[in-house]
């Protein structure tokens, strides 16, 4: 009986299909998966709310309120460069760049 068990294991092992290591590696290789990244839609700057105008570490509530007041007084803007000219807003190139990433102008 002791001989039958190893013989059975050897017989089973020989009956298994042979897979070369190269084909195994090909089957296990990571293949790129196409995913659609849902990018957030940009917000229209000219109708953005107080909360939407806030950008962490750049535009807090005080500056967002100033932008809303400026927009109420001057109307819609056609270019973010107009905000650079508004000295009372104290907006520089870094903030303009962040605004352009988050907002569109319509």
Q: Is residue 49 part of a domain?
A: yes
pLDDT at 82: 94
* pLDDT tens column, 13-71: 566 565 555 555 555 555 444 433 234 689 999 999 999 999 999 999 999 999 999 99
Domain residue limits at 94: 43-104
pLDDT at 9: 59
Q: Is residue 24 part of a domain?
A: no
Work out how many domains the chain is built from and give that number.
1
Q: Is residue 92 part of a domain?
A: yes
Enumerate the H helices of the chain as residue ranges.
4-15, 21-28, 50-53, 61-74, 81-85, 93-102
According to DSSP, residue 55 is labeled B
Q: Is residue 54 part of a domain?
A: yes
Could you tell me the pTM of the whole model?
0.60
pLDDT at 18: 59
- Report the SS3 class of residue 17: coil
Between 31 and 88, the higher pLDDT residue: 88
Q: Is residue 3 part of a domain?
A: no
């Amino acid at each position: 009986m002791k001989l039958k068990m190893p013989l059975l294991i050897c017989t089973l092992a020989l009956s298994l299909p042979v897979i070369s290591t190269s084909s195994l590696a090909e089957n296990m290789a990571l293949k790129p998966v196409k995913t659609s990244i849902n990018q957030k839609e940009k917000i229209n700057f000219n109708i953005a709310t107080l909360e939407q105008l806030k950008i962490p570490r750049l535009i807090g509530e005080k500056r967002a309120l100033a932008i809303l007041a400026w927009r109420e007084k001057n109307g819609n803007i056609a270019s973010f460069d107009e905000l650079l000219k508004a000295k009372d807003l104290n907006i520089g190139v870094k903030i303009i760049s962040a605004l352009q990433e988050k907002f569109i102008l319509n």
